[in-house]
Structure formats: C-alpha cells, structure tokens
Structure 1
Amino acid sequence: MRLGRISTGGLARILLMSLLGTWMAAAPARAAMSASDIQLACNSLAHMAFDLKDLVNVVASMRNPGPFQDILDEFSDISDSCLSNVSLMIRSSVITAQGDQQLVYEAYSYFVQGLFELMDAVTDSAPAMIEVDKQAEFRIPSAIDRLSGVADALLFQVIAIFPTDTSYSQQSANQKSQVDSHFRHAAHAFHLATANTGAPYSNTTVV
C-alpha cells in the first residue's frame, strides 16, 4: 500500500498561531516597530526573495544539482526572517502619518513583488527541479507551504497597521490575495509536474 502525502499546511498554521500566541503574551516587553523599521524589514525580505528567485532560475536552467540544498536553505532563511518580523510587529501601532503610510506601503509592495517573482520562478522550474533532484517533488512544496504560512502572517500584520479607511488598507489586502494565489499555483506546479513523470512519488515508502 502506498502511503499518501500528508499536507503540512494545517499543522504549520496551527504551530504558527501557537507561536504568535506565545509572543503576544510576551509582547509588552517588546518595543513596537516604527514605520521606518517596517520599511527596512520589508525591503530586506524583498531582497531575499529576489536573490532566491535568481538561484532557482540558475539551478533550473543549468540542471545543476549541486546548489539544490542552497535553495532549501534560502527558503528556510526567508521563512525564519518573516517569522521573526511578525513577532516584532505584533504591538506596532496603526500608522497615522500619510508619509509613513506611503513608505510602508511601497516597501510592502516591493516584498509582494519579490514573492510574485519568486513563486513564478518556482512554478516555471518545477519540471527541471524534479529532474535535478527527485526529492524536489516533496521538499520544494514543503518549503513553499512553510513560507506561505509565515508570509501570510507578516502581510496580515502590515495590513493591520494601515488605517482601514485608507486606500493602502484595501490595496495591500488585494495584493495579499494575489500572493496567496501565487503560492497555491507554485505548489500545484510541482504536483502537476510529478503527476507527469513516469514514476510519480517514486520516493514514497511502499509497504
């Protein structure tokens, strides 16, 4: 009997909410992030996303298995950075100054663009990645799932910082919905590429 794949999405989000609950309890001891802090954090995350996109494209185009582990490591790095920033943003106040709102929104949009381009690269490279390393059919979707969960939490935190009666609130929420779609599409690309192989899930244990 072939063992089915277990989706980690629900478990990942449960664990994330548990961690956030712990941070909420400890949050009074934490300094809230300023608008400039949030801007820097989002810009840094965007750079990480663009760098990872470039690595994915190189590995896929060269069919080079050597740096495959580096892709997984960089996925882990950006996920960890998202999670760390979520914990710091929890007590941040709503931004009332329009200039600060603009700065944060531009950085938020830059990070969103980085996620768009990263997930597009991952989507396009799915067949090549599975060719490079058979474990990619499991490990890349797992990395996507983890990043999706923590990025989702971070984007929610930034959206909550905008006053609800501003265009920034609505626009950032719309962008988040598009990010969610990109994550789903990237994971699906690996499922589809795997289904088109001669021995899908060939590394699944058979008992």
Structure 2
Amino acid sequence: MKPQDVDAFFATLQAANPQPNTELEYTSVFELLTAVLLSAQATDVGVNKATRKLFAVAHTPQQILALGYDGLCGYIKTIGLYRNKAKHLLETCRILVERHGGEVPRTREALEALPGVGRKTANVVLNVAFGEPTMAVDTHIFRVSNRTGLAPGKTPLAVEMKLLERVPPRYLVDAHHWLILHGRYVCLARQPRCWQCQVARYCDFSPKTPAPAAR
C-alpha cells in the first residue's frame, strides 16, 4: 500500500464506523480481561453466550475464585480449550486478588505476567479499557495487513510494529477495531468480498475478487 493511501484507507473506515468497539460483551475491565482470555481460538459470539451466564453470577476475581474449577468449567464448557482456560482464569484471579487488590493492572508487564494473558490480550485490554494506542494483532489483522500491503510481516509482532509505524496517530486508538471488523466481515480468509470493499482502491491485493454470478 502506498504511503499516501494509508490515510485515505483509515479515513474511509472511520467514516463508515466512527466509533468502533470490540464485539465482546463486558461491563468492567475485569469482565473484558476475562472475555479476551476466553476468546483465544474461539468466536466472540461463543464467548458472549457463555459469559452472559457466567457474569450474571460471578463478575469479580473473588466471585470467580469462589466458583472453583468445576463450577467455572460448568459455565465455559462450550468454549474451546475451556479446561486450560479455566485454570488460567482462576490463577489470574488469584494473582489479581493477592497482588493487585482485585483490580486489573494498567501496565503491559503486569498484564503479561497473568496466566493465559499474552501480548495480544494485553494489547486489547490496554486499548479498549485504558485507551492506549496499541495493536492487538489477531488472525484477521494479520491477514488484512499482509493482503492489503498495509503492514506486511511474517509474524504478529512484526505486523504490530509495522502498523504502529504506518498508521497515522489520529487513527491509532481505533485502528485495530477497524482492521478486525474489516477482516471478519469483508476481507475474508478464503474469499475476500472485494466487490463490497470500501477501501479496495487502496489495497494491493490483486486480482480483486469479483462478485458471485447471479443465479
């Protein structure tokens, strides 16, 4: 993607969705952290279905700990890898209570020290909860960044660093939401919907995918 097209790319996405946000449902920073931790290799729809029931009875670290392993598993068993996620979430809750007064820390170092919380999860919490201009590179952002030529890279970290370098500062806080949603609904993995894409003119992907023939 040409440098002069990057601003227009994001300006177009912004015009279409001025206030983007995560599709995970939450009402507190802890609920957000929990939802993101549970979302690895799972869909937001599936996570929301489980957390609606979970958060109705346990929405603080102390309440999650009180459920115990079997109790927590009962609420999240529909989510992939739920057993490991339950262990990680319980240990994370223990650390939050013992080291952080039950509050979610605001630094990357402290977040990444929590079990089950990697760089991507930490970036989501820092961005969504605390408004920091971070880039949480998931499979959608990785694909869109490489396919469009916006921020090519062989690893998520390489793409993240390239995005932080190329995205104009005024778009940084919301950029990862626009890219995730674009990858989820338009720039699909198997067949990108180029014929519906509002930013196709700025994209390096070629040839553009034509609209399906009418039946």
**Same-fold call, TM cutoff 0.5:** no
Which has the larger share of helix? 1
User: Highest relative contact order (Cα 8 Å, sep 6+), 1 or 2?
Assistant: 1
Structure 2-normalised TM-score?
A: 0.28
TM-score normalised according to structure 1 size: 0.28
